[in-house]
């Protein structure tokens, strides 16, 4: 297990007891899909929240599902809205996401996590079940998808997508955390081996195919991408996942750049906030709180050559338009893109 500072005790075990209420077309759990009713609360630092921002953007749900963005750091109590004027979310009127969890359950006993969808009418969290959340955006909100939205969870491929997602989650998405939060050498060694065995499997799988499942971007690609984007800036050093950098895995590195340069992916990434979160919040791993200046991230914009494998990123659909002005990345990102560390 891991305490609030990121100090491990043996093998890392993630608490996966989420609020599993769903927002569905038929409102079976009491929360029907309604435009303008819900607010998706995220942090740009968090890989699990990053999935939701990518899917929301690809599907064009910006006008029907509002976005609240927490800052990159938090204390042991809660994510906070310190990026907003006065440190208050302008829609929910709260300073801490914890307040929305307590509006749902005054005795809520578990971690305050992002992403979370909050009912704007009551100010209470509806769900923080991040694996189901993005699937529901794809399958339950279809009436409000933009024209040309891609099909991220196509019915004929769901079994294969689910199978790939299970291994990617267990060995890669969560695998980097099992390395970083391991409390002893044996737990770390086992996690390290499992992680790089899975990355080798992905290198082989993607060698002759452009995307993980089928010939278009699916939910599987979204889930892998958010970990790959954080690998060299954070996981390689901070979490001791240092057998190879992503940039030293030629197939995965090209695949990650292909997605990064695809509208809806790279334009959700803020490397400055990502690095601040991990290096400043996990004081058990990095007690000084020093955020490293590297790596040089300009190489994310170099040619990837993956077009030669064919595939149609958006299938019969189209790329999403430019994001709304108030959802553009921070000014710090422009510096990153222009080649500074």
Known binding positions for glutathione: 79
Tell me how far apart the alpha carbons of residues 102 and 99 are, in angstroms, rounded to a whole number.
5
Annotated binding site: 79
Among residues 38, 101, 177, 279, the one annotated as catalytic is: 177
Q: What are the contacts of 328-332 at 24+ separation with CB within 8 A?
A: 328/267, 329/44, 329/267, 329/268, 329/269, 329/270, 330/270, 330/272, 330/273, 332/270, 332/272, 332/273
Tell me how far apart the alpha carbons of residues 236 and 314 are, in angstroms, rounded to a whole number.
31
Tell me how far apart the alpha carbons of residues 255 and 252 are, in angstroms, rounded to a whole number.
5
Tell me how far apart the alpha carbons of residues 263 and 148 are, in angstroms, rounded to a whole number.
13
| φ, ψ dihedrals at 271, nearest 5° | -65, -30
Q: Is 46 a catalytic residue?
A: yes
Tell me how far apart the alpha carbons of residues 179 and 187 are, in angstroms, rounded to a whole number.
8
Tell me how far apart the alpha carbons of residues 196 and 142 are, in angstroms, rounded to a whole number.
37
Tell me how far apart the alpha carbons of residues 279 and 229 are, in angstroms, rounded to a whole number.
16
The catalytic residues are: 46, 177
């Amino acid at each position: 297990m891991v305490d609030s500072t990121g100090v491990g005790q043996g093998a890392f075990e993630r608490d996966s007891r989420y609020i599993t209420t769903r927002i569905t077309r038929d409102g079976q759990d009491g929360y029907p899909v309604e435009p303008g009713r819900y607010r998706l609360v995220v942090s740009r630092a968090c890989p699990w929240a990053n999935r939701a921002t990518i899917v929301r953007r690809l599907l064009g749900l910006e006008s029907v599902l509002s976005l609240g963005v927490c800052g990159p750091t938090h204390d042991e109590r809660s994510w906070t809205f310190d990026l907003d004027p006065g440190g208050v979310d302008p829609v929910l009127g709260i300073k801490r996401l914890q307040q929305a969890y307590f509006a749902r359950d005054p005795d809520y006993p578990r971690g305050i996590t992002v992403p979370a969808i909050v009912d704007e009418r009551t100010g209470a969290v509806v769900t923080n079940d991040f694996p189901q959340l993005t699937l529901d955006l794809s399958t339950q909100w279809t009436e409000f998808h933009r024209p040309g939205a891609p099909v991220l969870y196509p019915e004929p491929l769901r079994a294969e997508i689910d199978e790939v997602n299970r291994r990617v989650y267990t060995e890669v998405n969560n695998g980097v955390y099992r390395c970083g939060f391991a409390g002893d050498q044996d737990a770390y060694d086992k996690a390290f081996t499992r992680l790089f065995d899975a990355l080798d499997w992905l290198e082989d799988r993607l060698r002759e195919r452009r995307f993980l499942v089928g010939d278009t971007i699916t939910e599987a690609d979204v889930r892998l991408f958010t970990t790959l984007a954080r690998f060299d800036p954070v996981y390689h050093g901070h979490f001791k996942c240092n057998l190879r950098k992503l940039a030293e895995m030629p197939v995965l590195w090209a695949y990650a750049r292909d997605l990064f340069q695809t509208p809806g992916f790279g334009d959700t990434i803020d490397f400055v906030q990502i690095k601040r979160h991990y290096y400043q919040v996990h004081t058990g791993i990095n007690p000084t709180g020093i955020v490293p200046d590297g790596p040089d991230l300009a190489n994310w914009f170099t040619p990837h050559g993956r077009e030669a494998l064919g595939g149609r990123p958006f299938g019969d659909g189209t790329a999403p338009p430019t994001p709304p002005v108030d959802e553009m990345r921070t000014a710090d990102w422009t510096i990153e893109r222009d080649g500074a560390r």
